[in-house]
């Protein structure tokens, strides 16, 4: 489904079902953050006021935003050193807190935030990646509540996701494996992989995706919304030990007035946000991974 401002829904296009690799691990958010072994000191900081970039979208905000008190630490990586014009990890963490508030309506006051800086040659910008949890131990166990990515210099919002699902249990992994290896149940395999058929009417879901994207795209306007695919949100076993779908994700591509695309994943059952991702817009055109610098 493609929805353009003022024109309603004009087209519907189903994308191919998710690859079989979705069964190897649980679904994760847009970002996959590395947890380096060497870490800096942990410091409890007061609220940070950052003037480089202050998002103003207030849709779905619950009351007035207040800068939280956070425990912030940076994982240092020998490959990446933050540039002199980059935001400090503390300022980036506070911008991430407001990003989370605007998109999910939740305060992370009192939480621990791990910040990672990256500057890949195949991206047009450097990033601060943040992971949020109750404690540093939870972060080290990958038990996160939110993940976010912002531009390391401007603070522009790039990616955000809610808590990742817990790792698939051995029982569910075994049931998935048995299902995939049983050719007689191929139709069910496809249904489970794709999460089932999408809703017949997508207008309200498209509107929800647009509303979330409008809070992500600060300073620009949403111009189109296109339905991409349906995907399973999780798995569970029924009373007979058979694998069944547990929830469905609906993926939309939302484009702003500059042509930047956001991949927005929402819950079919609740219309709540799973994730927003825009980092794919920053890939250097024609980058040659085998011979960097040669297009």
Measured in whole angstroms, how far is the alpha carbon of residue 253 from the centre of its chain? 13
| Predicted structure pTM score | 0.73
The bridge status of strand 243-245 relative to strand 43-45 is unpaired
Can you tell me the distance from the alpha carbon of 108 to that of 96, in angstroms, rounded to the nearest whole number?
Answer: 10
CA–CA separation, 223 vs 183, rounded Å? 44
pLDDT truncated to tens, each residue of the chain (295 aa)?
666 554 433 333 333 322 323 222 333 333 333 323 333 433 333 333 332 333 333 333 445 888 899 999 998 887 888 999 999 999 999 999 999 999 999 999 999 999 999 999 999 999 999 999 999 999 998 889 999 999 999 999 999 999 755 456 777 778 777 777 777 776 666 666 666 788 999 999 999 999 999 999 999 999 999 999 998 887 788 888 777 777 889 999 999 999 999 999 999 999 999 999 999 999 999 887 776 655 4
- Which one-letter DSSP state was computed for residue 206? H
């Amino acid at each position: 489904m493609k929805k353009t401002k003022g024109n309603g829904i004009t087209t519907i296009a189903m994308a191919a079902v998710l690859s079989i690799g979705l069964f190897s691990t649980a679904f994760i958010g847009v970002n996959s953050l590395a947890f380096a072994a060497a870490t800096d000191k942990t410091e409890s900081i007061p609220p940070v006021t950052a003037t480089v970039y202050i998002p103003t979208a207030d849709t779905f905000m619950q009351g007035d935003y207040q800068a939280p008190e956070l425990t912030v630490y940076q994982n240092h990586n020998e490959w990446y050193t933050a540039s002199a014009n980059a935001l400090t990890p503390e300022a980036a963490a506070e911008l991430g807190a407001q990003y989370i508030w605007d998109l999910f309506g939740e305060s992370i006051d009192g939480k621990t935030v791990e910040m990672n800086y990256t500057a890949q040659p195949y991206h047009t910008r450097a990033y601060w990646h943040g992971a949020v949890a109750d404690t540093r131990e939870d972060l080290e166990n990958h038990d996160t509540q939110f993940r976010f990515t912002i531009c390391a210099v401007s603070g522009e919002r790039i990616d955000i996701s809610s808590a990742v699902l817990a790792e698939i249990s051995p029982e569910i992994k075994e049931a998935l494996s048995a299902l995939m290896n049983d050719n007689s149940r191929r139709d069910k395999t496809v249904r489970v992989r794709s999460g089932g058929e999408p809703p017949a009417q997508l207008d309200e879901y498209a509107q929800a995706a647009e509303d979330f994207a409008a809070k992500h795209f600060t300073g620009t306007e949403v111009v189109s919304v296109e339905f991409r695919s349906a995907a399973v949100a999780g798995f569970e076993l029924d009373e007979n030990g058979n694998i069944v779908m547990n929830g469905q994700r609906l993926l939309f591509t939302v484009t702003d007035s500059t042509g930047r695309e956001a991949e927005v994943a929402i819950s079919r059952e609740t219309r709540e946000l799973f994730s927003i991702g825009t980092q794919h817009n920053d890939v250097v055109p024609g980058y040659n991974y085998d011979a960097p610098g040669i297009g």
